[in-house]
Every structure is written in C-alpha cells, then in structure tokens.
Chain A
Amino acid sequence: MHMADALLAPAVAATMYVASGTTAGISVHKLKKDENTQKLPMMAVTAALVFAGQMINYTIPGTGSSGHMCGGMMLSALLGPQAGFLSMVVILAIQCLFFADGGLMALGANCWNMAFYGCFVGYYLIWRPIIRSNWFGKMEAKAALRMKIIAASVIGCIVTLQLGAFSVVLETSLSGITELPFGAFCALMQPIHLAIGLVEGLVTSAVLIFVAESRPELLQEVNPEEKGLTGKHSLKTTVIIIAVVAALVGGALSLFASSNPDGLEWALFGNSDAGYSENMALDEENYGIESGVADAAASVQEKTAFLPDYAFANSDSAAGTTVSGLVGSVIVAALAVGICVLGGFFRKKKQAIK
C-alpha cells in the first residue's frame, strides 16, 4: 500500500501533504494541550515495536500463507488517535527514508492513506463505539470484552484498509499516471485488501486481547473501574451508526466511480474482466482512433501537471523532436556511464596514492 513518488502528480502529492500536515498539526496541538510529554517515549517505543512487529509472519490456520499486523488500529487502541497518528507518521517516514518503502514526496499521501484512516476513522467511528457499546452483553464481562476487541479490530482493519486502498486508486487516477480505467483499478485493489484486512484484524485483535487481559489499563476506552463509560450505546445504536457511515462512504464512492469518465468507458466496454478483454480485442481499431481513455487521462494530466508542458505528440515537428530526443537520450546515458567510470577511476587512484 506504500505509494512510490512516481505514482503521484506533484499537485496531488502537495494536496495530500497539506491534508496530512494539518492533521499532524492538530494532533501535536491536542497533545501539547494535554501536556503529555510523558507520552513521548511511550509513543516512540510503541512505534518502534509496531515497526518491528510488522515483520513477524503469523501462520494463518488452514492455509499455507501468513499475515502481518495492522499498525494504525493497534497504535490508536494503545495510545489514542492523536498520538497513534503521529507514531504512524514517524514509522512511515522511517520506512520511506531508510527502506525505500514509499516515496519522500508521496509521504503525505501515505500518511493519509494509512495513518489517518487507521487512527482517526478507526478509533472514533469503530474502536470507541464498539468498546463502549454493550455488544455481547449476555456474556460474562471478560468474554464480552474479548469479543468486542475482536469485532472492533477486524471491522476496523477491514474498513480502514478499504478506505486506504480506495484512496490509493483515487490519488493515482487523479494524477493521470495509469491508463487502467478507474473501475478496473478499484476492482483490482479492493478485494486484495479485503483479505489482508481480515488477517490483519485477527492478528491485531490477538495482541490487543493479550494486553487487555494482562494490563487492561494500557488500552484506550477499556477501563474496568469506570463502568459508567460502558453501555453508552446499545448494540442497535452502534449498528445504526456504522450503517449510516457505511452508506455515506459507499454513496461517495459510487458517486466518484460513476462521475469518472474512465469508469464510464469501462462500463461501456463491459464489466467482467474476461468480457472486457474480449471487447477490447473487438473494438481495438475504433478504440485506437478515438482513444477516449488516453484523452481523458491526458486532460486530467494537463489539469494536475505542475508546470505546463510543451507539445510532444500529434504534430509534424514531433517526429523531429523524437529523433533528436532519442539520440540525445543516448548521449545523456553515455554521459552518465562516463561519470560512473570516471568516478571509480579517480577513487581508485586516490586510494592508491594513500
């Protein structure tokens, strides 16, 4: 899910930086207001632990494969949404700088896709309502808490990962990077992350249940002394809240999908993967002449491009530019190789002198 720099147009990347930066600013402000400097080492150690913990493989029973842990949900359950968000931002920054996992320019987008949804949406709309609700009220208190943690973690991981994956598709499509129609890209990304979300949710809930049973005071909203907190929302209200949110999100998604010209194109050609490729072959000539997808993508690219471009294709001079461009590219590549060789040569000489 970590996006590389090449997948974003500068305008989109800058917008996402502003969005994530604002969220980080508000989080810092909130934490400062609470004067919670004591939380700082706690945040750092937990973030480092989640970072390392993401590398552990967990065997999924019944299958040969393995899964990982979901960072955002776990951090916000342990530290609260604001501190969790900042810890995720730091994890993403280190992954980007030292492991090339996600780009430096795409950091804003990555923070939004993974940290914002995982921490804020996951905490305020899923973790807190579910833990405070009286779901599984008929069970014994301990068992009920366990079930609530499983429900919150699994629902939280699935929903936040779906939102994140959808944002990746949206950002990439707005950047005009891919020719892949919006709908097809969605159909590719969402189901994969459904499966990932389920596994991550289960692993996250296993760790959180362990913490809840040995040290419940470490978890947000789980406070055995404060019984007044629980039972605020009944199962019914919680279900209604989640349903309304799901309907809103779903409505927004379908609106985006249907208003997108690429999505329409996709619908015209056919919906299933197999059908689409068949239609592609049939309409190939027609498709090549009209090239609606290319035009639509190009217009998006034009709108989002950082600097105005000069003409390239579709002109008589283009052929000339292309040939000289080709020759020039070879020259530049040769220059690059030359620099490498020269650099190595001088260094060896220097070492020899030493």
Chain B
Amino acid sequence: MDRIDHAASELREMDDLAALSSPIHSLHPLAKLIVTILYIFLTVSFNKYDLSGLIVMLLYPVIAFSVSGIPIRTCFYKLRIVLPLVCAVGLFNPFFDRVPLLYIGNISVSCGVISMITLMLKGVFCLMASFILVATTTMDAICAALRKIHIPNMIVTLLLLTYRYISVMIDEVSIMTTAYKLRAPGQKGIHYSAWGSFLGQLLLRSMDRAEELYSSMQLRGFCGEFQYADVPPAKLIDYLYAVFAVGAFFLCRMVNIASFFGSIALGGSL
C-alpha cells in the first residue's frame, strides 16, 4: 500500500541523511536539541502581526540547511502534513480581522492577512528547525541527549526500541497489505469481514516476538538500560555553537532586525 511504503522510505531517508557528515552533524546532540527547542519557542512567541520581525528567523534554518548540505526540498515534502491544519486555522483570519494594517500602493492589507501569513511562516520555520535536528542527528544520539537531561530511562529505552521495531512492523504490514490487495483487486481498503483478523493475527505474532525479544535481551545482559557509548563529551565548539545560536535568537526576538536593515537601506537611498 502506498502510504505504508512511503512511511518506510521516509524513515530510511531520514536515517540516510543523519548518517552523512558535516559540521552540523558532528555537533553534540544535546546542543542541537536545546538550540532547536529554543528556536521553536522564540519563533512561536512572535506577535501575530509581527511579520517583519519573524522573517529574520528564516536565516537559522537556511544557514543550517546550507552548512549541513541537506537539500531543502526533502523538508518541504513534509509540509503536506503540517500545512493543512495550520491553513485551516489561519485561513479564517482574513475574514474576521479586517482592520487595515498597511497600504501597498492603493491596496490595503488587513491585519487578518498579515496574521495568516505569519501563522503559516511560523509553521514552516518550526518544521524546518525540527527537520534539521532529526536530519543531522541519529536516533541513538537523540536518545543519549534525552538521557543527559534526565528523561526517565524507561521512556528513552521505549523510544529507541519502538523506533527499531517500527521499520520491522511497517515491512510486515506492507507485505500483508500487498498480498491482500493482490487477492482483492479493485477493492479499496480491507473488507470489514477481515477488519479484526487482519491486524489481530499480526498483533498476536508480535506479542510472541516481544517475549522472545525480551528473553534474548536478558540473555545478553540487559539490566534495564541501554549504554550509549558512542556519544563523545561536549567540546568547546559545541558550547560556542549553543551560546552563539541562543544569543542570536534572543537578539532577533528582541530587536526587529528586518526593520533595522530596511531603515538603513531607505536612509541610504534618501
């Protein structure tokens, strides 16, 4: 089935991207995690009419994409999931908020239009920032960073194990749906007579597999926690990156840099 195969290839693609090497890839995962979360918080905190202030936040993801060498189009493919709900919420703003905010020539632009654009840009920026985090950091490294900030071991181990098994399950479900489709050509989805048994069968098999998995983990000496040995301690560059990025974000949040540029440009031309 298309959706399942898409999901599998998306996962593989993210893994491949995270395995590349670049200055961003080699940064400490915790530094990247903190910078990303702070970026999202500050981006979202912009006033809904503050389009010119918000636009400066575009620079971080663009620089990060450029330095890490990850093609931006891989990220925009994911917008299809983010944008519908954001648009559904934002599209009403122009109708309800008609106070004119500025005039371009004779055309008045209302507050609602500005707030709609701001909302959509926020959605896109946040997606780009979290995409850059995942595309440059492996799941193991993210989990190690989560352990560093004392997220309970059970949740992190569960995250890692689930991630490991998602690709297995996606493959199994994909094989099953393909087989079903071939036996039921022209039928859209699973017939209701097979609703229960289709996933139920796989569920029962998976439960048995989970028990075997646990036995084998115990035999290999699993004592409740994975060891993350491959994450080196933070270097000076990691601290510098975190401090510089956080400082720059706060500067962009406090000072309207776009307006500043604009006034310089206008002042120069006058």
Q: Write the residues of chain A forming the contact surface with B, with a CB cutoff of 8 angstroms.
A: 2-10, 13, 24-25, 28, 31-32, 37-38, 40-49, 51-53, 55-61, 64, 66, 69, 78, 86-87, 89-91, 93-94, 96-101, 103-105, 172, 176-181, 202-203, 206-211, 214-215, 218, 280, 284, 287-288, 291, 293-294, 297, 301, 305-307, 309-310, 312-313, 319, 321-329, 331-333, 335-336, 339-340, 342-344, 347
Contacts and interface: CB of A to CB of B under 8 A. Distances in A.
Contact of B45 (A69, A103, A307): A307
Interface string B85-107: 11001101101111101101000
Interface in B102-120: 102, 104, 111-112, 115, 119-120
A94 B169 CA distance: 14
A66 B189 CA distance: 7
Contact of B213 (A41, A49, A325): A41
Interface of B: 1, 3-4, 7, 10-11, 14, 36-37, 40-45, 47-53, 55-56, 58-59, 62-63, 65-67, 69, 72, 78-79, 81-82, 85-86, 89-90, 92-93, 95-99, 101-102, 104, 111-112, 115, 119-120, 122-123, 126-127, 130-131, 133-134, 142, 152, 154-155, 157-159, 161-166, 168-170, 172-173, 177, 187-192, 195-204, 206-207, 209-211, 213-214, 217, 224, 253-254, 256-263, 265-266
A46 B41 contact: no
B67 A343 contact: yes
Given A291-B98, A324-B259, 15 more contacts: A4-B82, A10-B44, A28-B155, A46-B203, A55-B170, A103-B40, A177-B48, A324-B263, A325-B53, A331-B265, A336-B58, A336-B62, A340-B65, A340-B66, A342-B66
Contacts of B197: 210
Nearest to B164: A44
A104 B99 contact: no
A contacts with B: majority SS: helix
A164 to B, nearest CB: 13
A165 to B, nearest CB: 12
30 contacts: A24-B152, A25-B152, A28-B154, A44-B162, A45-B165, A45-B206, A47-B158, A51-B162, A56-B1, A57-B190, A59-B192, A90-B155, A99-B78, A100-B131, A104-B40, A179-B92, A207-B203, A218-B204, A293-B96, A305-B45, A306-B44, A307-B254, A322-B102, A324-B260, A324-B263, A325-B51, A325-B53, A331-B261, A339-B66, A342-B66
